[in-house]
Structure 1
Amino acid sequence: MTDPYQYYPTPEALSRKAWALFKNQQFARVLEPSAGEGHLLRPGPYQYGKRLPIDCIEIDIRKHAVLRDEGYPVVGMDFLQFQSGSVYSHIIMNPPFSEGAKHVLKAWEILFDGEIVAILNAETVRNPFSKERQLLLRLIEQHGEVEFLQEMFAGEDAERKTPVDVALVWLKKTSTFEQDILGNILDDLRQDRREADDLVGEFQLPHELALPNAFIDNAVLMFNAAVEAARQGVVSEARASRYRSMLGKTLGELSGGGIGSEDDSSSDAVKRMLFKRYHDLKNRAWASILRSTQVTSRLSTTAQKRLESDFETVKSLEFTVPNIYGFLQGIIDQQGEIQLSMVCDVFDLITRYYSDNAVFYMGWKSNDKHRTLGMRIKTTRFILPGHGSSSYQNGLNWESERLLADFDKVFALLDGKTEAEVSLVSVFRQHFRELRNGEWIGGSYFDVRYYPGVGTIHFFPKSKTLIDRMNRWVGRQRRWLPPVDTQAGQGFWQQFEQAERFDKAFHAEVKKQSKLEGRNYRFNPYWAINHGGASEREQGQRLLTQAMSSVLASRGIDPDSLLDNDQGCVRQLDWDGLPDSNLALAS
C-alpha cells in the first residue's frame, strides 16, 4: 500500500548527526515540523537536567498520541499552513522527500532568528530544476552549508530502508534585531494577521457547527491582534532595556548600594518572552472556544470535565481556523460516546448513594460464565441524599444545582430535546419556600419533594418511557442486556421487565441467604458492590446473584433459556437508540 505521507523514520545515527550540526547549542525553543513518531527527536539534548522542550507538527493524526506519550506537544498538523515561527530558535526536520524544498523554504520564511537543520533527498539539492529548489540552493550558498551522505536509510537502525542518498542541510537566519532594536524592529517581525475571507477559505463546515462562522473568524482575528500587540510590547520593553543600559548605572548602583537591572534586550531573551506571552494568549483563545460553544451548555458536569481534560492536548495546537474546525468536528464525531457517558454518569449517580433507588435483575450470561446482576432505576421514585439546607438559606447550594442541571440535560437528551422546558433548577429557585414546606412541585421530567432537614430530594419520574430508555441503554453498555443480534428467551425479558415486582421478594431472599451462610449482619451487599474493595464487591455480587437465582427459580423463570428457532415470535430488545439531539450542534 502506498504511504501518502512518505513516512521514513530517521535512523538514530542520522538523528545524532543532524543535532550535532547546530552551531548554537543554546536552545530557546525547538520545532520539528514533520515529527512522525519522534525518531529524530530522541537524541535531542538535555538542558538543566531536563529534556529539551520541542514542539511538533505531524500531518498524520494517528501519530499524535505517540508524540504526546513521549512528552512532545503537538502544535499543528500541516506545517505548510503553520504561521507561528518567530518564537523558535531552532528548527530540525526530516520532511517528505518529495516536498523537502517546500518545507525548508517554509521554515526559513517563518523563522525570525535561528538555525535550521534539514534531512533532504540529495537530488533536491543536486538537481535544482524547479524555482523552489533553485531558491533553496541560493539560501544554502548564502546562509548555510550542505553535507551529502550515503546509505543512511539502509543501515540496521533504519526502520524503513531505502538506498537514497541524503543531503544534510544547515542554514542560519540572522535578523537585523541588534541593529534595529533602536529603530523600527517591528518590520522584522512576521505579521500573523490575515483577512477574514482567507481565514474561512475551504474550511467552512455546514451550519450545524456549534459556533457561527463569524465568531470563529473574529476569535482568530482577535487572537492575531493580541499576538501582534504582545510582540510590540516585548519589543518596546527590549528597546527600553537597551536604552537604559546605554544610559549607564544609577549613582546608587555605582556606589554599590543599589541593585542593577539586567539588559534583557538580546534576541534570545525576546524570543523567550514572546513564547511565554504567545503561549498564554493561545491558552486563553482556545479556552474561549471551549467555553463559548453550545456544546458545554448541554454537557453534564462530569462530561464537561472529561472534555476539558482532553482539551489540555488540544490547546497546544496553533490557534487557526482549520484547527478550530477540526476540534469542533472531533466533538461532533464523538457525540454518541459523549451522550452515552452522560447517561451512564447520571445512572450511576442515582444508583450509587441510595440502594432503594434501583432494582436488580439477572444480567446476561457471558461466554466466560461470569454472571453479574444488572440494575434498573425505579420508574416510581428515587431519592438522592446530601442536599440539606439551613433555615436561613433561600436556595440550594451550587453543587446541588449542578446535579439538578445534569438531570435535566440527560433527560432532555433522552427525550430528543435540547433542554427541559421547566428545569429542576428553576423549580427550586422559584419555589424553594413551598418545597421546604413539603409541597410537590413539577418540572418537565420529574415531580419533586424536598426534605431540608435530612437533606433528601425525592424524584417522581413523569415518563416511564424515558426511565426505561435510560435503563436499556445503560444495560447494553454494561453488558447486562444481550447484544442486539442475540435472541434472548422469554424468561430473560420477563424478569427484566418485572424486576420491580420481584424487588420485595429479592430483598427478603438476600436477608435469608445472609443468615444461611452465617454472614455478619453488618455486611451490606448493596453498599459493597458500589463502594467496597475488590473482595467486598465480589462477595456482595455473589450473595445478590444467589438470592436473585432463588427468587426466579421459585417462580419458574429461567433467564438463560433461548428461543427455539421455530418459535413464531422473536423477542428482541426494544431499542431504537437515543433520539437525534445533536449534542455538539446548534439547534
Structure 2
Amino acid sequence: MNIFTNNADFYPTPDEVINTMMMSEDFVGKTILEPSAGKGNIVDWLKKNGAGKVIACEKDTNIKKLLNGKCDIIADDFLTVSSEQISHVDYIVMNPPFSEGAKHILHAFEIAPAGCTIIALCNSESVNQGWERNATKEKLIETIELYGCKEFLGRVFDDAERRTDVHVSLIKLYKEGEGQDEFDGYMFSNEKDSLDVNETEGLVQYNVVRDMVNRYISAVRLFDETMAAAEKINSVACFGGKSDGYLPVRFAVVDASNSVVHISRQQYKKELQKYYWRRIFGKLNMEKYATQKLREQINKFVEQQTYVPFTMHNIYQVLNMVIQTTGQRMNTALLEAFDLICSFSDENSTAGEKWKTNANYMVNRKFIVPYMTSYDPKWPRDYLYLEYGGMVNRMEDVCKALCFIMGRNYDSIGSLDRFVRDNNLEWGKTFEWGFFKCKGFKKGTMHFEFKDEEVWMKFNREVAKQRGWVLPKKKSA
C-alpha cells in the first residue's frame, strides 16, 4: 500500500524531531492525544518512552488502518472533537496538516482542559506576520504571544521518510484555568507532592519557592482588583455620561526603559511569570562553571522555560533536572576546554597537528594561546593589555572547567581580565593566575603552564576517561 497516495499533507514525523518536541517535558505516565496520528510515528515514540495512555484521531481511512492495535481512535476528524471528549488529557502532541496547521492548533487550544500542554509542529508561514490579512493566522500569533512560545526549527523534513523543504516551527501552548480555578495546582496541596523537595533544598529553599509562587499569584489577583477599582472610579467620577475633562483613571506599567506601557491582564501575567522564572534561575547560578558554548545553551533553555506556568511542580521539576544534569554540563565544559587548548597550536598537545583525529593524547603542561594581548607601537603601553574580543573569555572557560574537577570555587580566582587590569603586569614577565603560570607578549600570544603537575594530569585523565582513551603511563624519574 502506498501510504502517500492522494494525501499531500501526510508527512510522518522523524524521531529526532519528536525528541526536540518532547525535550524537558514531564509526559511519563500521562494521557496524551495525537490529533493527526498518520501511521503512528508520534504514537509509537510516546508509548516507547513512557506515556501512560495515547489516544488519537486520523482522517485518512487508508492510513488509519496502520494504527490498529497501537492506540484508541476517538474520532476521524480532529476538528469535530469536543472538550468533553478530551477533558482527561495532559498533553496534545501534534504534527497537523501543513495546509491548515493554524486551524488545528487553535482548535486544540480551545478544547484543551486546564493544565494541558499543546505541543505542535507547523509551517513557519503560519506563525509569521505577512502582508495579507489572515484572521486565523493572526489569532494563532496572538495566542502564542499570550499563552506560549514558538521556536524556528528549519527544514527538519529534508531527510525524512517523506521529504519537504517546508520551514517548520515548534509551538508550545499552556492552557490555564479560568476564574476561581485559574491557579488550581500552582501550590503543593499535600506533603506527598513535595517528596522530592529535600533533594533540591540546597539549590532553592522550599519556603522561598512557596513564597515566590504565592507572590506571583497574589500580584495577578491584585492586578484584577486594581483594574476593577479603576473602572469603579471612572464610573463614579463621570457624571451624566459627559466625559469632557473628568480625568479618567488609566492603569499602566513602567517598563525597563522607564516608559509607561499599557498592558492587558494576560500580558502582565506572562511578563511576571518570566520575571519570576529568571529569579529562580538566578539563584541556581547555572552559568558559574559553564563555557561560552554551554552558556548559550543554558540561556536558550532559560528563555524557553520562562514561558512555562510558574507552579511549584514545574519549579521542582526544573530543580531536579538541574541536579541530574550538573555532571553532564561540567563534563561538556571539560571536553570543550581540552579541545580549545589543542586547537590553538600544534605544539599544545602530544598529538601535534593530528589532534583532531588522534586518540590517547594529552594537553602539554605548557601551551600557547593566540589573540590574548593587544599592543600597538604607535600608542605603546607599559603594562600588559588584553585584547578585547580575543581568547580571554575562552581561557576563563578553561579555568572554570579545572575548578570543577579540582573542587575549587571559581569566585576565589576571578576573571583573568580583572586580574590583569588590577595588577599592572609587565610584558614578558611571569605572573600567576588560577591554575597557571602566565606570560603575555606584545605579538598577541600568552604562554600558560600548569603550576601543579597533579592538576595537569587530572585534567588529561578526566578527558581520557570520558573519551575512552588510554593515556601513556608516567615515566619514572
Compute the TM-score of the two structures, normalised by the length of structure 2.
0.56
Distance in 2 (alpha carbons) for counterparts of 1:348 and 1:465: 20
**What is the CA-CA distance between 1:377 and the residue it aligns to?**
1.9
Task: Rate the CA distance shift 1:476–1:443 in 2: closer, same or farther, 3 A.
Answer: same
Q: Which moved more, 1:300-309 or 1:419-428?
A: 419-428
- Do structure 1's residue 72 and structure 2's residue 61 form an aligned pair? no
> For the structure 1 residues 243 and 32, does the alpha-carbon distance in structure 2 shift closer, same or farther, using more than 3 Å as the test?
farther
Equivalent position amino acid for 1:383 in 2: V
Quick one: distance in 1 between partners of 2:227 and 2:279?
24
- The residue number in structure 2 matching 1:85 is 177
Distance 1:292 1:207, change over 3 A: closer
Question: Once the 2 structures are TM-superposed, how far is the Cα of residue 246 of structure 1 from its aligned partner?
Answer: 7.9
CA distance in structure 1 between the aligned counterparts of 2:430 and 2:206, rounded to whole angstroms:
45
Pair 1:214 & 2:192 matched: no
Is the aligned partner of 1:317 residue 2:308?
A: yes
Which of 445, 463, 477 is matched with 1:456 structurally? 445
Q: CA deviation at 1:411?
A: 0.7
Structure 2 CA distance for partners of 1:31 and 1:311, relative to 1, 3 Å? farther
Quote the Cα distance in structure 1 between the aligned partners of 2:170 and 2:229: 34
Aligned 8 A contact 1:290 1:296 in 2: no
Letter in 1 for 2:219: A
Q: Match of 1:443, as an amino acid?
A: W
Name 2:436's counterpart in structure 1. Answer: 446
Report the counterpart of residue 369 of structure 2 in structure 1: 383
The answer to whether the aligner puts 1:436 opposite 2:426 as a matched pair is: yes
Q: Distance in 1 between matches of 2:308 and 2:239?
A: 40
Q: How does 1:462-501 map to 2 (within 5 A)?
A: 462-475=451-464, 477=466, 481=469
Distance 1:13 1:225, change over 3 A: same
Within-5 A mapping of 1:347-366: 347-360=338-351
Partner of 2:406: 415
- Alpha-carbon contact 2:427-2:439 (below 8 Å) kept: no
Give the Cα separation in 1 of the matches to 2:186 and 2:119.
31
Q: 1:226 to 1:443 in 2, by over 3 A?
A: same
**Aligned 1:176-255 pairs, distance under 5 A:** 201-206=194-199, 209-239=202-232, 248=241
CA contact (8 A) 1:241 1:263 kept: no
Match of 2:112 among 14, 32, 56: 32
* CA drift at 1:199: 12
- Larger mean Cα displacement after TM superposition, 347-356 or 320-329: 347-356
CA RMSD of aligned residues (A): 5.1
Cα 1:474/1:429, change in 2 over 3 Å: same
Question: Hey, what does 2:181 align to over in structure 1?
Answer: 110
Q: Deviations over 1:387-436 (max 9, x none)?
A: 32673999757866644542322111121334375445387257531x23
In the alignment, which of 9, 12, 15 is matched to residue 78 of structure 2?
15
Aligned-partner Cα distance in 2 for 1:415–1:474? 14
Q: Secondary structure at the match of 2:264?
A: helix
Mapped pair 1:49 → 2:129:
no
| Partner-residue secondary structure (3-state), 1:8 | strand
1:9 aligned counterpart, secondary structure: strand
- Find the residue that maps to 1:304 and give its secondary structure: helix
Evaluate the alpha carbon distance shift between residue 442 and residue 16 of structure 1 in structure 2; reply closer, same or farther with a 3 A threshold: same
Work out whether residues 387 and 396 of structure 1, in 8 Å CA contact, stay in contact via their aligned partners in 2: yes
1:223·1:281 contact (CA, 8 Å) conserved in 2? yes
* Structure 2 CA distance for aligned equivalents of residues 418 and 383 of structure 1: 24
Would you say the 8 A contact 1:440–1:447 is kept in 2?
yes
Alpha-carbon distance in structure 2 between the residues aligned to 1:224 and 1:216: 12
CA deviation profile, 1:444-465 (whole Å, cap 9, x unmatched): 41111223x3333321111334
Q: Is the 8 A contact 1:395 1:432 kept in 2?
A: no
Q: Any conservation in 2 of the 1:220–1:319 contact (CA below 8 Å)? A: yes
Conserved? CA contact 1:401–1:425, under 8 Å: yes
Cα distance in 2, alignment partners of residues 411 and 405 from structure 1:
10
- Aligned-pair identity in percent equals 14
Q: Could you tell me whether the CA contact under 8 Å between 2:372 and 2:392 is conserved in 1?
A: no
After TM superposition, give the deviation of residue 238 of structure 1 in Å: 4.8
Give, as a single letter, the amino acid of the residue that structure 1 aligns with 2:270.
H
TM-score normalised according to structure 1 size: 0.47
Q: Which amino acid aligns with 1:373?
A: N
Q: Distance in 1 between matches of 2:370 and 2:250?
A: 61
Distance 1:393 1:239 in 2: 68
From the superposition, tell whether residues 363 and 348 of structure 1 become closer, same or farther in structure 2 (CA, over 3 Å). Answer: closer
- Specify the structure having the higher radius of gyration (Cα): 1
Counterparts of 2:429 and 2:251, CA distance in 1: 71
Separation in structure 2 between the aligned mates of residue 208 and residue 323 of structure 1, nearest angstrom = 15
Report Cα offsets for 1:90-116 as digits up to 9, x if no partner.
xxxxxxxxxxxxxxxxxxx526xxxxx
Which residue in the other structure is 2:256 paired with? none
Q: Distance in 1 between matches of 2:223 and 2:348?
A: 56
Q: Per-residue deviation at 1:276?
A: 0.8
Distance 1:231 1:393 in 2: 60
**Cα 1:297–1:4, aligned 2, differ >3 Å: closer, same or farther?**
closer
Conservation of the 8 A alpha-carbon contact between 1:448 and 1:457: yes
Counterpart Cα distance in 1 of 2:269 and 2:464: 47
Residue 226 (structure 1) shift: 2.6
The answer as to whether partners of 2:439 and 2:448 remain within 8 angstroms in 1 is yes
Q: Distance in 1 between matches of 2:177 and 2:353?
A: 61
Between the aligned partners of 1:246 and 1:394, the Cα distance in structure 2 is 74
Aligned to 1:306, which of 285, 294, 297? 297
SS at match of 2:369: strand
- Whether the 8 Å CA contact 2:213–2:312 is kept in 1: the answer is yes
Pick closer, same or farther for the CA change 1:360–1:239 going to 2, 3 Å. Answer: farther
Unaligned runs of 5+ in 1: 57-68, 77-83, 88-108, 112-189, 253-259, 265-271, 365-370, 483-492, 499-587
